[in-house]
Chain A
Amino acid sequence: DVKVTQSSRYLVKRTGEKVFLECVQDMDHENMFWYRQDPGLGLRLIYFSYDVKMKEKGDIPEGYSVSREKKERFSLILESASTNQTSMYLCASSGDPLNTEAFFGQGTRLTVV
């Protein structure tokens, strides 16, 4: 089974802190994604990557950056955390060149205080 693992289930950070959310997948997938999930807003794409060291902005990239130094690992970085970044963050990966099934991690609930 494909496994997408996010490093933390829950995080509490202070405003202004630099925050790293880590995601690792074990199926050699080319594509990796970061979404945030908020009630009533669904899943919104922050950034995605289709290859090592390649990245593209999603719909809501402001305040975030990403890093993909290795194929299996995709990191989301909040340069200076703010309270409006309190959310559930979901990482996903897909390997099919026709962009079919995405496999999600269990999510990281981030609270910025």
Chain B
Amino acid sequence: GENVEQHPSTLSVQEGDSAVIKCTYSDSASNYFPWYKQELGKGPQLIIDIRSNVGEKKDQRIAVTLNKTAKHFSLHITETQPEDSAVYFCAASIESYQKVTFGTGTKLQVIP
């Protein structure tokens, strides 16, 4: 089955700096890669996703990159703000198949 590894497990950055979270996956058939943000006391919420037919996607301060050859993808957050503090999960799946495999999570702390 699919295996998703995520690094780092914790990340502290100063407000305004950038944060990068990296994930690798094992199943070359995976073609859908979502990122979820989990705030304290809440369930995870989708913040951005990317499909295998594109290499990069941006949404305001958030961007994701995908390297299918190397089987890794990354989340980039620029100009970090205290409200970006949360746990972030990457995930991988095969579209049209319900099962999604999540990474182990990264706890991001943005220091004001």
What is the interface of chain A, defined by CB distance below 8 A to chain B?
4, 31, 33, 35, 40-45, 48, 50, 56, 58-59, 90, 92, 94, 97-102, 104-107
Contacts and interface: CB of A to CB of B under 8 A. Distances in A.
B75 to A, nearest CB: 15
B102 A42 contact: yes
B96 A97 contact: yes
B22 to A, nearest CB: 15
Interface residues of B, number: 27
B41 to A, nearest CB: 7
Interface stretch (B43-51, B61-69, B76-84): B43-51
Given A90-B43, A107-B43, 6 more contacts: A59-B1, A99-B93, A99-B95, A99-B100, A100-B34, A100-B49
Contact of A31 (B9, B45, B98, B105): B98
A58 B99 CA distance: 8
B102 A102 contact: no
Contact of A48 (B45, B49, B89, B99): B99
A102 B100 contact: yes
Q: Which of A44, A48, A94, A99 has the most CB of B within 10 A?
A: A99
A56 B100 CA distance: 13
B95 A98 contact: yes
6 contacts: A43-B44, A50-B98, A99-B32, A99-B97, A101-B34, A104-B43
Contacts of A31: 98
A56 B9 CA distance: 30
